[in-house]
Every structure is written in C-alpha cells, then in structure tokens.
Structure 1
Amino acid sequence: MASCADVHVRICGQEIIRFDLEIKALLQDIRDCPGPQSVLTELNGRVKDKFTRLRLRIQDLEQMSREQDRETDRLSILAETESQRKQMLSNQTAWRKANLACKLSIDNTEKDELLRGGDSHGARQRRSTSSLVETSSSITETLMSVSRMMAEQVKQSQDTIGTLATSSRTVQEANEELRSMTGTIHVGRKLILKYNRRELTDKLLLLLALALFLATVLYLLKKRLLPFI
C-alpha cells in the first residue's frame, strides 16, 4: 500500500499537470482573441492566477522532496520539480509571445477601422490613440510581470540544481564509504580465517605433543615393569 507521503506527491503532480493544461488552453484563447483590449486583459488576469497557483504547487513538490527518507526518492522528486519549472518558464515565454501577437492583431484591426472611418475619422482616431496608449501600457506591464516571474523561476532553478549537485556528492561519498567498509570487512574476514587456521594447527600440535608424551610414558613404564613380570 502506498504511503501517505507518496499519495500527496502524486496528487501534487496531478494538480501541476492540470494547471499546465489550463494555462496552455488560456494561451490559445489569447492567440485567438479578436479583442477588444478589455477581453485580453481579463484573459491575462486568469493566466496570471493560474501561474501563481502552479508556482505554489511546484514549491510544495520541492518541499515534499526534502521530507523524503530515501535519497533516491528525494532526487527523483527534485528532478521532477526542475522539469516542471522548465515547463512553466516555457509557458511564460509562450504567454509573452501570445500577448504580443494578440495586441498586434488588435492594433491592426483598429487601424483598419480608422481607414474606414469616413466623416468620423477624427473622433475614431482619438479613441484609437487612447486605445493604443492603453495597449502599450498593458503590454509593458505584462512584459514586466512575465520578466519578474521568469527571473524568480530561474533563481529557484539554480537553487534546485545546486541542491541536486550537493545530494549527488553526498551519495558518491556514501558509496565510497561503503566500498571502504567492504574492503575493511574483507580484510577482517581474511584475518579471522587465518586466526582460525592457526588455532586449529596449534590444537593439532598440542594433541601430537600429548600423544608423544603419553607414548613416552608408556614406553618407560613398560621398560621398568618388564623385569618384574
């Protein structure tokens, strides 16, 4: 039966995958968004919320790796955490590109409307100018937000890589200690076998000496007692 920790790790991984799929679906909605700017702003807000939740779950997964008893499990979960961080960075890059493409499409649409404006050209141009300013400001804010998130994820990835490297060194040192202990045990076993053989040899020599002594005693007794028989 799987342990409680294993269940939590599996649930966390499933939630990360779900958030990743939802983000990809929202990014496709942004690419297909015809406007206006308010719709794009709403989509970006939903994407930002999903990224926040995804980042928290990835942090939870990393924390779970630190709570593992076995080193192999800890390294495996850390590797999965790093993979999910890289995927999130890729989604953030795609988010930025989708925003740029969508806003460019909205700008082109508004320019086309200006060209078809006729008598209301001046009023529409003023509205378009205001919309362009708003769009530019939104683009700048979105790009800055994405850049901050990417910088944070890069730093976390560097920390995770450092942890993995430290853990790998620890495992290597443990393996070296095990090899050293194995060599010591092997030498000790040889010494014990050698001692046992020497002890057996000493016993045999002692028995031979005792037999020789008894034979000598019997011989002497026989020599002394023979004249009286």
Structure 2
Amino acid sequence: MASSLDVHVRICGQEIIKYDLEIKALIQDIRDCSGPQSALSDFNSQIKEKFSKLRLRIQDLEQMAREQDRETDRQAILAETESQQRQMLSNQTAWRKANLACKLAIDNTEKDELLRGGENQSTRQRKATKESLVETSSNITESLMSISRMMAEQVKQSEDSIGTLATSSRTVQETNEEFKNMTGTIHLGRKLILKYNRRELTDKLLIFLALALFLATVLYILKKRFFPFI
C-alpha cells in the first residue's frame, strides 16, 4: 500500500492478511482431516467465522477507499480491496474442494469400518446366538428340574395325606366300635335296671302280702282272746 495511507487503513489491511492466513491454515487442516465427521464440522464452523470476519474487513477497506480525499489513495485502496476479494474467492474455492476431498475420505473410511464392523458384528451375533442357546438350554433344564422337584413334593404330600386319611379312617372305625360296645353296654344296663325294677315291685308285693297276712293273723288272735263269743 502507499505510504500515505492512514493508520486505520493499515490496521484493516493487517487484519485482512491475518484472516487470510488463518483461513489457509484451516483449509490445510481440512485437507489433512481423516475424520470423524464432527472434526470436519468443527473446522468448517471455524472457517465460516473467519470468512465472515474477513468479508467485513474487506467491506471496511472498500468504505475507507471511498472516504479518501486523494484519487491516488482511493485507487490504491480499491486495488488492494479487489485483490483481497479475489484472494477470498480463491480461498472459498479451495475450501469447497478440501471439503469434498475430506468428505470422500471420511465416507470411504466409514465404509471400510462398516464392512469390518459387519464381519465383527456377524461373529458377535453368532457368538451371542450360541450363548443364547446355551442359556436357553440351561434355563429349560433348570425349569424341568424345578418341575420334577415340585412333582416329587406333590407326591410326598399326597402320600402324607393318604396316610393321614388312613389314620383318620382307623380312628373313626375304632370310635364306631367303641360306640357299638357302649350301646351294647347301655342296652344291657337298661335290661338289668328293668329287671331290677320288676324284682323290686315283686318284693314290695310280697312284703305287702306278708304284712297283710301278719296283720290278719294278729287280728284273729286278738279276736279269739278278747272276743271268744263273737
């Protein structure tokens, strides 16, 4: 730039050069990037920010050119502005090419990893299938053993119940026999009581007859002794 340019123009030009160099460095980072996609996105985010700042500074430089009083200074600044604009367009083209190359490299890498991952996944699936079959077989065996134990417990409970029923049946039979014996004893006692009652009645009648005979005898004797003539 011409030596007559003011301080603001020189500072703006220095910032434009700085952003240009930073953009070139980021474009090279994109060319060297092998992934993942998040790394490329991070580089693109940074380079977009740099382009935005560069575009603003070029616009500032162009505005400063219009504000110059001398025609030679204005033409010199405008020439520098056009040069920086062409350089920015060149950087944008290089950025698009670097992006395309990086995306292609990332896609190829992801495809290779996907193929290798598919093989590994197939191996893992076969292993998981075998483990699942073994686990299922083990669970079935455990279930069968559990069912067998439950059936054995049910059989034992049934045997215990049958034994209890048999004991109860014998107890009922014994109680029935005792009731029969008690019934026979009661009938016998009743017969004895009835027989005793009849004998007691007979005894009473005999005693009454004997007493009547005794009284009749006494009256006869008294009559003969005291009333001989009657």
Measure how far apart 1:11 and its partner are.
0.6
Q: Which amino acid is 2:49 matched to?
A: D
Which residue in 2 is equivalent to 1:66? 66
Partner of 2:93: 93
Match of 2:121 in 1: 120
Give the drift of 1:122.
11
Q: Which moved more, 1:88-97 or 1:110-119?
A: 110-119
Deviations 1:145-203 (CA, angstroms, capped at 9, x unpaired): xxxxxxxxxxxxxxxxxxxxxxxxxxxxxxxxxxxxxxxxxxxxxxxxxxxxxxxxxxx
SS at match of 2:6: helix
Change (3 A) 1:121 1:50: farther
CA distance in 2, matches of 1:61, 1:47: 21
Deviation at residue 109 of structure 1 after TM alignment: 0.5
CA distance in 1, matches of 2:45, 2:30: 11
Q: CA deviation at 1:34?
A: 1.3
In 2, the alpha carbon distance for the partners of 1:78 and 1:16 equals 14
Q: What are the ranges of 5 or more consecutive residues in structure 2 without an aligned counterpart?
A: 125-230
Q: Confirm or deny that 1:34 pairs with 2:22.
A: no
2:77 paired with 1:77 = yes
Measured after TM superposition, the shift of residue 121 of structure 1 is 5.8
Tell me how far apart the structure 2 counterparts of residues 91 and 71 of structure 1 sit (CA, whole Å): 30
Paired residues of 1:114 and 1:121 also in contact (CA < 8 A)? no
CA distance in 2, matches of 1:35, 1:26: 15
User: What do you get for the CA RMSD once the two structures are aligned?
Assistant: 2.3
Q: Does 1:111 align with 2:103?
A: no
> Is the CA contact (8 Å cut-off) linking 2:24 and 2:91 kept in structure 1?
yes
- Matches of 1:3 and 1:22 in 2, distance apart? 26
2-structure distance, mates of 1:35, 1:74: 46
Q: How high is the sequence identity, in percent, across the aligned residues?
A: 77
TM-score (norm 2): 0.50
The one-letter amino acid paired with 1:11 is: I
Instruction: Determine which structure has more spread, i.e. the larger CA radius of gyration.
Output: 2
Structure-1 separation of matches of 2:29 and 2:43: 8
| Alignment check: 8 A CA contact 1:12 1:61 kept | yes
Aligned to 1:149: none
Structure 1 Cα separation of the partners of residues 54 and 123 of structure 2: 46
- Equivalent pair of 2:9/2:61 in contact (CA under 8 Å): yes
Is the 8 Å Cα contact of residues 23 and 47 (structure 1) preserved in structure 2? Answer: yes
Deviation string, structure 1 residues 71-121 (Cα, Å, up to 9, x no partner): 111011001100000000000000000000000000110111122121426
Is 1:21 equivalent to 2:25 in the alignment? Answer: no
Paired residue secondary structure (2:8): helix
Structure 2 counterpart of 1:89, one-letter code = L
Q: TM-score, normalized by length of structure 1?
A: 0.50
Give the aligned partner of residue 192 of structure 1: none
Q: How many equivalent residue pairs?
A: 122
CA distance in 1, matches of 2:14, 2:84: 12
The CA distance in 1 between the partners of 2:123 and 2:47, in whole Å, is 36
Distance 1:3 1:33, change over 3 A: closer
